[in-house]
Amino acid sequence: MQFAVFGMSSLFFRPLIKHLETVDFPNYERLGRACELLEIKSRPDINSEAVGVIYEDTIVPWLGERAAVGMNYNFKQQRWLEIPEGFVNASRVQPVKNLPNQPLVELPKLVNGQGMWAEVTVPYAEASLVNGPSSNSWVSELIDKGLPVRVYYNQVYYVDDIKVDAKGQVYYRVNPNYYGGVDMLWVPAEALRPITPDEISPLNPDIADKHIVIDVLRQCLSCYEGNTEVFFCRVSTGGKFDSYGNLVDKWATPVGNHRVSRKFITLQMAGGGATGVSYDLPGIGWTSIFATGGVAIHATVWHNGFGDTLSHGCVNCLPEDAKWIFRWVNPVVAYDPGMVDVTLTGESSTTVEVIER
């Protein structure tokens, strides 16, 4: 599969990058995106003086992390991010980078036409609707609130078209849900990095004895080949208590033995009717579903609190961890069509044991 790119002439390529940089992200190698409104503290201490606030989607320099001086009992992870103005809770700041890309001149050819999978590699990019919006979707909710429609770092989308406007800006058309989405978006091409087939090639595919153990008390996940642990990461599973301390088992990640049943390079996940908190989240990469109700191991970009119970039943992971797990677990997913369902194929799959002890 070959990727032809715009920008063989530096005169043509540079204006495209300049266009994207008008968002004016801080010029630091490591950045953070505030996932919600956050207080800036004078010290890494919940009880220290508040010296300001940063709003959702504010991009800040990631100067370093500090252990908390005073305990915040709302979080297990006692980490604070240092920014030029002070300190903010690190669990609510997504680690990001600003890595614009060279646009493609044409898309690779797949079985069902031209297209590719792509990952967002800038903190965020403004998107515009192709049509719509459809009713009761994540897009219509943002528009109703007067908020911008954006794609975020580490989200994964399917790209199926390219256009160039009168100013020479290249856009990709992305489908937030390749398997049935309706709110198609135009996104600046520099924001999206093509994912190659090699990136999703299976890890250790010849090993038959693979299994995953997810510990909901320790909030961690381990991958085993036989009795050997080959991968470990922190995760966020379903919360068992609400903010008032009431037991809410409907949010809990189901304890017991399961199997990976479906895998998707990316998926739009929506729900909340049963939990009382609705959500509609596009571009969720590296999704491995293992339990009834769509409970899955997947990439997460809306928090950085891995080690705390923050999901509605799924197993939230750092995107790089979710991608490794996705490539390692069986069944194998081909680049085209980018998903597999063992209930249809009859393939064997990796076991997932969720423990609470």
Full pLDDT tens readout for the chain, 357 residues: 656 665 433 223 333 344 454 578 999 999 999 999 999 999 999 999 999 999 999 999 999 999 998 777 766 778 999 999 999 999 999 999 999 999 999 999 988 789 999 999 999 999 999 987 887 788 888 888 899 999 999 999 999 999 999 999 999 999 887 766 678 999 999 999 999 999 999 999 999 899 999 999 999 999 999 999 999 999 999 976 665 666 666 678 999 999 999 999 999 887 654 444 456 789 999 999 999 989 999 999 999 999 999 998 999 999 999 999 999 999 999 999 999 999 888 899 999 999 997
Residue type, 258: H
Sole residue written with tokens 């999206």: 192
Phi, psi of 228 (to 5 degrees): -100, 125
CA–chain centroid gap for 70, Å, is: 30
Task: Tell me the whole-structure pTM to 2 decimals.
Answer: 0.91
pLDDT at 22: 52
Interior/surface letters 128-139, b for 16+ CB within 10 angstroms, e for the rest: eebeebeeebbb
